[in-house]
Amino acid sequence: MRILGIDPGIATIGFGVLDSDKSRQVLVKCGVISTPAHTSLASRLALIYDDMCCLLEGFRPDAVSVEELFFNTNITTGISVAHARGVILLACQKAGVKIYEYTPLQVKQAVVGYGRAEKAQVMDMVKRICALPSVPRPDDAADAIALAICHARSLTSLLYKGDNEECSTI
């Protein structure tokens, strides 16, 4: 199964493409979609949509794993990221790819085994699980790989309910 992990953002959107076969995950490609600073929100969203469509067409994933939003103290940034996340979901929906959404807690639990793990622990496990020589950079790309790993591991969970229903690591 090919999984596209997406770490939403407005300036930088991380992506990670994994091929997963039961307990083995192989990194195909990772990177970021970047939007220029001091550009209108509408222009940034159009760029994100176009680049997402290219990723979906180029890698033809079976599933997309997207992080659910976590609002911190900066609500303005959160709203912009929510717009970007909406465009990402729209691109996936229009491409006909099944979308799975995970919280940061679920990702940490699936990748590290502890939902309150530190970022460095998650990054180290991404490197180990994918047998990489170093942690992928930038962090947004590594976060996207962690999202893809989370979905791959959720598929092998007894909590996975099948193709027609959502899955969960809760």
* Active-site residue set: 7, 67, 140
DSSP conformational letter for 103: -
Q: What is the largest CA-CA distance in the chain?
A: 47
H or E stretch at 28: strand 24-34
Report the 10 Å Cβ neighbour count for 22.
9
Residue ranges with strand state E in 54-155? 63-67, 98-102
As to burial, measured by CB atoms within 10 angstroms (0-12 exposed, 13-18 middle, 19+ buried), residue 115 is middle
d(CA 84, CA 128): 30
d(CA 68, CA 71): 10
